[in-house]
Amino acid sequence: MADGLRTIQATRYVTPLREGGSLPAIIEADDCGLYVLKFRGAGQGPLALVAELVAGEIGRALGLRVPELVLVEVEEGLGRNEPDAEIRALLKRSVGVNLAMDFLPGATMFDVAAGDWVDSEVASLGVWFDAFVSNVDRTARNPNLLMWHGKPWFIDHGAALYFQHSWGDEGRGAHPAARFSAIRQHVLLRWAGSMGDADRVGRERLGAELFRSVVDLIPEDWLGDLENAEVLRDAYVCYLTERLASSAGFVEEAEHGHAELV
């Protein structure tokens, strides 16, 4: 069962991380720690934070290394001396509860050209995890995988769970049993071993009770209409539970993609 998330107060805006369109930033908090802050006022809005939280905690439950996630209170005065008008506007839109992950000093982005690799068990589980949460953002071009003290750390899951942007829609990827063809572009697929073994691990470590404990961590105001917050939580749990029961499809898709690489 997922543990509760700590809540911290952002005390100092350190520097923006100009990667992609969401403009995350390094901030210092009232516990004197440094964190990479993801703003509710950026990109896809609070739903991207929902994906970060839910996918990140599922990855942790699977046994993958995911930096600690924390809820961050952002006050209006944060970054008031920032000269960039775009960043000031982003901070103004993000007053309230945001999400951050622990900053890993000295970590480097996973780079095959630099000789980075992972063992087959981690690779298989990482591929299974991203197929399960429908994460399109773990490719060779954009691995979202940090190497820290020689170990891989899985980060940046805001692009996962994209079904949530079209609740009730029958569009691509919205169905829990969707096979997820994007897994063929996964940066770790070349090192993956048995997807069947990874599937067994996933089924053993995840389930409706775990999903409920993770979904209950989502702050209510990230879900939009507060009157329907519990209905939405139930919908997330239902989707994730059905997807786990339908894992054979995305596992087979990953196996086909792996076969094309070897």
Query: pTM here?
Result: 0.94
Give the whole-number percent of the chain exceeding pLDDT 90. 79
Which CB contacts under 8 angstroms, 24+ apart, belong to 12-20?
12/78, 13/78, 13/79, 13/82, 13/91, 16/84, 16/87
Residues in the chain: 262
User: What are the residue boundaries of the structural domains of the chain, listed by start?
Assistant: 7-102
Q: What is the DSSP letter of 160?
A: S
Q: Taking each helix axis from N to C terminus, what angle separates 120-132 and 46-62, rounded to the nearest 10 degrees?
A: 140
pLDDT 10s digits, 209-250: 999 999 999 999 999 766 788 889 999 999 999 999 999 999
Query: Residue 26 — left, alpha, or beta (φ > 0 → left; ψ -120 to 50 → alpha)?
Result: beta
Q: What is the DSSP letter of 182?
A: G
Please compute the mean of the pLDDT values over residues 167-179 and round it to a whole number: 67
pLDDT 10s digits, 151-170: 999 999 999 998 888 765 44
CA 42 vs CA 99, 217, 221, 241: distances in Å: 12, 21, 15, 29
